[in-house]
């Protein structure tokens, strides 16, 4: 069994990693449905313990976690900081957390450029441990940052970073309808959109590009090589990159065929049932944005 076969069923339905990586990383996602049951200290403390082991610049450990459990008086105070959209589903959280980070180094008081970055690493550790324990840990930026700093007495040298809802998972059906539709593990941009060998100068990013003229036909039968042709016959760099992106996403080698190419005719004659057209609207929806 490869590691990727250890993906949870609900995750495997929506996520296809491009490389064989630790399944915990792919299995983590941000559900909203929680039971409203309290958690014991021994259930949520390991999450903060996991956060403690994150790396940080000069090992300064800039992160600080302020929290309230649903049995605490302060729970309402934490909940009141949240925007309306987040309030709706966090009602059922067992623990609400506000993550803040210290902006300066302990050893010399100088500004620590990466305090937020380091706090982000601590959040991810917490989230991974929660996922391993099949608990919800959902980060939020939809809250009043100023009110959080004021009401939680956050000192000036600390930045408020995010809030986190922690709780026991519940079925999606317990959420209001519009949230049920969003209760699934989200995909990710393909690797070539976030990774480039070298500097930015020769990187043509596709995100935000107008692709309206590139209606693409993908041929993807049981052939050793995929044949990609876009009907606009535009061979500009952007259109070429669209085709290359497709080949990468489909993990297929790419064969370029011009309209007069006999290969195209052979494919069209023999494999037409396998052809399909994909409008850029659906490309955008499913793959890039």
Ligand X SMILES: Cc1cc2nc3c(=O)[nH]c(=O)nc-3n(C[C@H](O)[C@H](O)[C@H](O)COP(=O)(O)O)c2cc1C
Of 213 and 285, the one with the shorter C-beta distance to ligand X is 285
Question: Nearest approach, Cβ of 26 to ligand X (angstroms)?
Answer: 9
Q: Which three-class secondary structure state does DSSP give residue 159?
A: strand
Token pair, residue 221, equals: 């039968």
* Interacting positions 182-241 with ligand X (CB under 6 A): 185-186
| Cross-strand pairs, 255 | 227
Residue 30 touching ligand X (CB under 6 A): yes
Question: How many other C-beta atoms can be found within 10 angstroms of the C-beta atom of residue 221?
Answer: 13
For 190-216, give the DSSP string. Answer: -HHHH--SS-STT----TT---TT--E
Contacts (Cβ under 8 Å, ≥6 apart) of 165: 34, 86, 89, 90, 93, 95, 96, 97, 136, 137, 138, 140
* Interacting positions 145-184 with ligand X (CB under 6 A): 162
Query: Applying CB under 6 A, which part among 17-25, 60-68, 105-113, 134-142 lies near ligand X?
Result: 134-142
Residue nearest to ligand X (CB): 142
Residue 86 touching ligand X (CB under 6 A): yes
Of 87 and 217, the one with the shorter C-beta distance to ligand X is 87
Residue 24 touching ligand X (CB under 6 A): no
Residue 141 touching ligand X (CB under 6 A): yes
Binding site for ligand X (CB under 6 A): 29-30, 86, 139-142, 162, 185-186
């Amino acid at each position: 069994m490869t590691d990727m076969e250890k993906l949870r069923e609900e995750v495997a339905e929506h996520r296809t990693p491009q490389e064989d990586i630790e399944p915990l990383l792919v299995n983590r996602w941000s559900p909203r449905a929680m039971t409203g049951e309290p958690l014991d200290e021994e259930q949520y403390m390991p999450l903060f313990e996991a956060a403690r082991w994150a790396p940080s610049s000069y090992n300064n450990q800039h992160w600080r976690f302020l929290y309230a459990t649903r049995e605490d008086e302060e729970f309402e105070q934490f909940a009141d900081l949240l925007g309306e959209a987040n309030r709706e589903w966090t009602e059922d959280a067992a623990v609400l957390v506000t993550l803040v980070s210290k902006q300066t180094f302990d050893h010399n008081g100088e500004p620590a450029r990466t305090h937020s970055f380091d706090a982000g690493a601590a959040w991810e550790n917490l989230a991974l441990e929660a996922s391993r324990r099949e608990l919800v840990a959902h980060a939020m930026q939809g809250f009043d940052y100023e009110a959080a700093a004021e009401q939680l007495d956050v000192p000036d040298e600390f930045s408020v970073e995010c809030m986190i809802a922690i709780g026991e998972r519940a079925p999606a059906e317990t959420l209001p309808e519009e949230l049920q539709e969003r209760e699934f593990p989200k995909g990710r941009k393909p690797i070539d959109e976030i990774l480039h060998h070298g500097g930015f100068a020769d990187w043509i990013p596709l995100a935000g590009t107008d692709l309206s003229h590139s209606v693409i036909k993908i041929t993807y039968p049981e052939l050793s090589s995929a044949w990609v042709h876009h009907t606009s016959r535009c061979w500009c760099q952007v259109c070429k990159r669209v085709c290359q992106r497709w080949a990468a996403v489909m993990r297929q080698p790419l064969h370029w065929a011009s309209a007069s190419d006999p290969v195209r005719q052979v494919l069209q004659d023999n494999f037409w049932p396998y052809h399909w057209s994909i409008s850029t609207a659906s490309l955008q929806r499913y793959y890039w944005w």
